[in-house]
Every structure is written in structure tokens, then in C-alpha cells.
Structure 1
Amino acid sequence: MTNTETTQNAPSLESAPRGILLLHTGSPDTCETGAVRRYLRKFLMDPYVLDMPWLLRAMLVHCVILPMRPLKSAAAYRAIWTGGGSPLVVNTEALRAALEEALPGTVVRVASAYGRPSIPEGLDAMAACGAGETAVLPLFPQYAGATRGGVTSVLLREAAKRWNVPSLNIVPPFYAHPAFIGALAEIWGPMLADFAPDRVLFSFHGLPLRQVRKGAAGGLAYDYERQCRMTMEGIAGRLGLDPARCVLGWQSRFGKGWLEPATDDLLAGFPGRGAKRVAVCAPSFVGDCLETLEELGIRGKEAFLQAGGGDFMLLPSPNSHPAWVRAVVELLR
């Protein structure tokens, strides 16, 4: 065979389908206690999630958290579980399907660091489809070591184990990207206009202060708290919201020394300060999940109403809304 024939017969990068890998933390396989325990064990033993020496982390997880926490978490999951499984998995799959429809010839797959399909399964799926360069979109608008950092580290570690190391292009945090801000404004704007809340609570996932400080030491690219504030300011500015009516809170607090004010404290305190009509959004989540549907939509609403609140509205995550699908396409360019 001549060199010319070899060149003509060899597959080119241009002919290989482009791949997109949607990356997130994952969910338990079921809402039963055993499945939740297995998921939490894998999640919490990641040093990016609990940043402490291995022995201390293992003792905390196995002796303190796992004996009791899975029972409580399983009940929370059962409150929001769907016929298709975990809302996060269902919503991410819907986004995957919408992206494949919007991008003909592109292979789109989902992978999770601690659930299924796993990251190795996602990489296998890409290889099986013959995908060339793969764009990886961690589904976290802001950078936090415990979320984007953790799942990215798992991805790179698994990719490095392969003989044929895949070509991966990781999309950076998009906390202030005009496409992201514009999509949320398009989705939430009409809802807020109709609801006319006294306060709009922007609830972001909380972090231990030690992790916030470690990130901020690396500059804006790793400054989670500052990125969250920029997201809130971008959305509020795009919608023309009164800054005095916009409040930032931190949810999912797990112990002392976390970012404040806590979302649950704010919701319980709003009625006493005259805010009895409250809208809540969670711009650190692009897919509705346990933290939005149960923590905010059930427990947060209950705390607000029990404190004397009147009307409560939880704005949906963008999920697979057409505006968000268009934004993702823009982020991938």
C-alpha cells in the first residue's frame, strides 16, 4: 500500500463525530437507604469533598455520617423521586437528548463522578461511538473544589488510565457568561414579573469557609463566593431587579464554619421583616435535584410558611428548557 493510499483510507479527525460529555456528581441508584449509603460513601470519601487527611475523613464518614445520615437522606430522596428515577438523572438525560437533537452528528453522553453512568462508562461510550475530540461540560456554573474540582479530577484520573488517552476539552466555569445569564433571565423573567415578590432569594450551595479561602487564594478563577455574587448581580441586572429586594443565601450547611447567611435562616426570618411574598432561585444548579426540589421546595417553603410567610415560589432550574439548550450550545463553541 502506498503512502497516498494509507492517507486516503485512514479516518480523519474531520470525519469523526464530535463528542460532548455532560459531567455531574450523580445520584443514588434508588431512593432506598442502602443505595443512598453507597452513594454517600463514595461521594464523601473524595478528598475534594471532605478535604482532610484520609484517616480523619474515613473515621468521620464511617463512624459519624454513614450510621445515621443515609436514613434521613433516603427519606428526602423518596419525597422527590420520579417514575424515571432521580430528578437530577432524569433532567440531565433530557438535556442530553435535546443537545443531540440541536447538534446533528454530535455524540452527547452523561457521566457522573459518584453515580451511574460512571465516568469510565461515559468515556467508554465516547470511545465506542468513535468520537474524536470531546468537549466536557461540568454542570456547575461556578468553580468549587468540592463540585467542579472533584468531578474534573475523577475524569482526568480515569482518562489517564487508558492506553488511548481521549482528547478532552473542558469547558471553564460559566458563572458570568452572557449565554448562561441570558438563559436564566429568559426563563425566570416572566415568572418573576407575574409573581411580583417582596424578595428574591438567590440560594447557592454553601461551602466550608476553609474551602472558600483555599479557592480564593487562586484568584477569581477559583473564588467561589465571588463568582456566585457575580452570577446574582448578572441575573438581577439583566432582569432589572431592585438590588434592595435581592438577597444572597447559602444552602446545604453541614456543620459550623460555613458561608453565611444560611438560606434556611433567611427563609424563616423573612416574614418577621415584612417579606411575606418570596421567590427563590438556585443558580448554582442547572438541573433540578435534591437540593432544589426537597431542600428548597419542601423544607424551605415549610420554614417560610411556618414563620408567617404568605406566598412562596421556587423558580425551576433551567433543566432542558430551550433557552438553556441554546446557551449550552453557545458555551461549547
Structure 2
Amino acid sequence: MRQEKMGVLLANLGTPDAPTASAVKRYLRQFLSDRRVVDTSRLLWWPLLRGVILPLRSPRVAKLYHSVWMAEGSPLMVYSRRQQQALARQLKDMPVALGMSYGQPSLASALDELLDAGVDHIVVLPLYPQYSCSTVAAVWDELARLLATRRRLPSVSFIRDYADHPAYIQALAASARRAFEQHGEPDMLLLSYHGIPQRYVDEGDDYAQRCRTTTRELVSALGISPDKVMMTFQSRFGREPWLTPYTDETMKMLGEKGVKHVQVMCPGFAADCLETLEEIAVQNREFFLEAGGEKYEYIPALNDEEAHIDMMEALVGRYR
């Protein structure tokens, strides 16, 4: 019996090609046109998106991207490429392709890369530790759309999420301990996850529960008192209610209540990006210090740390 040739497709959200208004506009148009991300009636959404949001938001967001842009490119792309290359080195005989839901390299190009390499069993690993319909399901949708045009289909193993995988929790815990050793244990460790509309959860998305699961397991692994840890949600967009408590409002509240030292982790991000390097490391630091806080540190995402790559190898290895 012929043995299947396996390959890995690492998937993430995506990023603009450059920190310019035109590149950001192109990226946001694709991102905000996905019904998994914004499910508002198209009759209402298209005029708002094209006539208001893209023209006004793109230049502003481009400036923020410029502030975090690395010599090699967008942080999300730089770290994602490093993850891809590191995982490929560890897997040795198994091709690893990188695809983004929005922008380049696309999921289509990643799929073609694996199929051209003779892969007939693809393990899809969306780099979202906690499932959400707005992220993981968007990868599922796009792959299904791409494969619908094929006469010959590969076997596909799809990793839904890894919110409580022991190797992931231990990698997060080790990262937090290093920060404690370097800066001292904070008065409050704040775990900030990307938000989604509360309505999505009300309609069945279990994202909030998966975030709570990660938080519970991380607190247990660290062995610290639960009252020294808070779980919040960042990056809300639009006017409808999103998951609470909101990170920015919590920062202001902590400073006003006399909390002096805060450290922040973003366990929902597999790679540092605009939302962590600018929104958390810069904006929310200012909110906390201006409200009376004295010491603030952002604990970086796991990025291409060895323990993070080991976890990816363990996830993929189950299908060998």
C-alpha cells in the first residue's frame, strides 16, 4: 500500500504588503469583505466600507504599521516565515507552506505549493490558539472553496484549535516566568485576547469559552493566585457590543484604582503584529501610565521560540 506524502499548511490572518495607505486599503478591503468577519447586510455594508471606512481608516492604519514595520517587512509576515522555516527544519521530510486568509502569500498559493510537491495529505494548522468563526472558520471556508475546483482532492486533517494543548500552555508559562524574572512579578497579569462581537458568541461561537480555557490552564501552570490575573478583549471595531471587559478600559481602571505594575500577554496571537506591538505595547501602556500606573511591560508573543515550534511539531505529529 502506497504511503501518503504529508505536508503542512500554516495559516494566519495576513498583513498589508507595505506600510502605505494604498497597501493597507487593498488589504482591509479583502479582510472586511469576508462575511465571516463582518456579516452585516451587503446593501448596508458596501457603501459604508467603500465610501467611509476604507478612505478614512487606511491612511491612519498605515501610519501605525509604519511605526512597527521591521527591516524584513511586516512583523506578522516576518515571524510567520520564521515559524514556517523552523517547523520545516524540524519536520525535515515534510513540506511546510505558509498561507494567509487575506493578502499574500495566499491560501491558494500555499495549497498549490503543497500539491506541486506531490503532497496528498495536508495537515492544516491555523495559527489561532482559540477557535472563532471569524478566524479559523474563514480558513476552512477558503480551503473548501479552493478544493471545490479540483478533480483530485488530497486528504485533509484540520486542526480546529489548541487552546489547552499542554505544550502551548507550558510555552506561555515559561514566557511569563521569564518576564517575571526580568521585571519582577507584577501586581496584575493581564491576558488580552482579540475581541469578537458578543452576538457571535450568542449565536454559538465558543471563542470566549476557549479563551477562558487557556486562561484557566495558564493560571494553573504559573501557580499564581487567580485574583492577580485578568482576562480582557482588545481591538473592537464598530458600534455593536463586543466581548468584555475591554482591554483599554481595564487599563484605565487599574491605573485609577492604584495598581502600580502591570504585565500584559496576548495568548490569542501566535505571532506579534500591529495589534500587539502598537495597540498593546504602546497605546495601552499610555492608558495605564496616564491613569496613575507606574510600571508596564508587554510580554511578546511566542513567535518562533523553540518551545512554540516544538508545540507545532507535536500538533502535526499526531497525523503522521
TM-score bracket for the superposition, by shorter chain length = over 0.9
Q: Does 1:174 align with 2:158?
A: no
Within a 5 Å distance, the mapping from 1:158-173 to structure 2 comes to 158-173=146-161
Following the alignment from structure 1 to structure 2, what is the Cα–Cα distance between the partners of residues 143 and 64? Answer: 30
Q: Which residue of 2 aligns with 1:71?
A: 59
Distance 1:251 1:290 in 2: 12
| Aligned match of 1:269 | 253
Aligned partner (choices 70, 86, 94) of residue 82 of structure 2:
94
Shift of 1:308: 2.0
Residue type matched to 2:218 in 1? I
Residues 211-268 of structure 1: per-residue CA shift (max 9 Å, x gap): 12112xxxxxx41111111111111110012111101111001133111111011112
Structure 1 spans left out of the alignment, 5+ residues = 1-6, 216-221
Alpha-carbon distance between aligned partners in 1 of 2:232 and 2:294, rounded to the nearest angstrom: 20
Match of 1:230 in 2: 213
The RMSD of aligned alpha carbons is 1.3
State the AA in 2 paired with 1:276.
Answer: K
* Whole-angstrom CA distance in 2 between matches of 1:162 and 1:56: 34
- The answer as to whether partners of 1:110 and 1:117 remain within 8 angstroms in 2 is yes
Matched, 1:212 2:208: no
Q: Determine the C-alpha separation between the residues in 1 that align with 2:160 and 2:237.
A: 27
Are residue 292 (structure 1) and residue 276 (structure 2) matched? yes
Question: Residue 170 of structure 2 aligns to which amino acid in structure 1?
Answer: G
Secondary structure, counterpart of 1:66 in structure 2? helix
Shift, 1:94, TM fit: 0.4
State yes or no: 1:198 paired with 2:166. Answer: no
* Alignment correspondent of 1:327: 311
Tell me, in whole angstroms, the C-alpha distance in 2 between the residues paired with 1:171 and 1:237. Answer: 24
Taking the aligned partners of 1:77 and 1:91, their CA distance within structure 2 comes to 15
How far apart are the structure 2 equivalents of 1:51 and 1:327? 33
- How far apart, in 1, do the equivalents of 2:238 and 2:49 lie? 14
Structure 2 distance, partners of 1:75, 1:212, is 32
1:245 to 219, 228, 236: 228
CA contact (8 A) 1:88 1:287 kept: yes
Separation (CA, whole Å) in 2 of partners of 1:172 and 1:150: 12
Cα distance between partner residues in 2 of 1:236 and 1:69: 37
State the 1:287 CA deviation: 0.5
Indicate whether 1:139 and 2:122 are aligned: no
- Mapping 1:116-135, distance limit 5 Å: 116-135=104-123
Bigger shift: residues 253-262 or 111-120 = 253-262
Greater than 4 Å deviation, 4+ residue runs: none
**1:110 aligned counterpart, secondary structure:** strand
Aligned length: 315
Residue 268 of structure 1 contacts residue 307 of structure 1 at CA under 8 Å; is this kept in 2? yes
Question: Could you tell me whether the CA contact under 8 Å between 2:10 and 2:96 is conserved in 1?
Answer: yes
Aligned to 1:35: 23
Corresponding residue for residue 3 of structure 2: 13
Equivalent position SS for 1:113? strand
Kept in 2, the 8 Å contact 1:187–1:323? The answer is no
User: What SS does the corresponding residue of 1:202 show, helix, strand or coil?
Assistant: strand
CA contact (8 A) 2:258 2:292 kept: no
Cα separation, 2, equivalents of 1:167 and 1:64: 43
State the shift of 1:289 in Å: 0.6
**Structure number with larger C-alpha Rg:** 1
Is contact 2:16-2:24 (8 Å) kept?
A: yes
Deviation of the 1:193 alpha carbon: 4.0
Partner-residue secondary structure (3-state), 2:151:
coil
Q: Is the 8 A contact 2:9 2:122 kept in 1?
A: yes
Q: Which residue of 1 aligns with 2:243?
A: 259
Output the TM-score relative to the length of structure 1.
0.91
In the alignment, the residues of structure 2 paired with residue 286 and residue 192 of structure 1 have an alpha-carbon distance, to the nearest angstrom, of 21
* Contact in 1 for aligned 2:136/2:160 (Cα 8 Å): no
Name the SS for the 1:25 alignment partner.
Answer: strand
Pairing 1:149-160 to 2, within 5 Å after superposition: 149-160=137-148
1:316 aligns with 2:300: yes
Q: Give, in whole Å, the separation in 1 of the partners of 2:137 and 2:177.
A: 31
Identity among equivalent positions (%) equals 38
Aligned residue type for 2:312:
V
CA contact (8 A) 1:39 1:114 kept: yes
Q: How far 1:201 moved relative to its partner?
A: 0.5
> Following TM superposition, by how much is the alpha carbon of 1:48 offset from its aligned partner in structure 2, in angstroms?
0.4
SS at match of 1:286: coil
Displacement of 1:192 in angstroms is 2.2
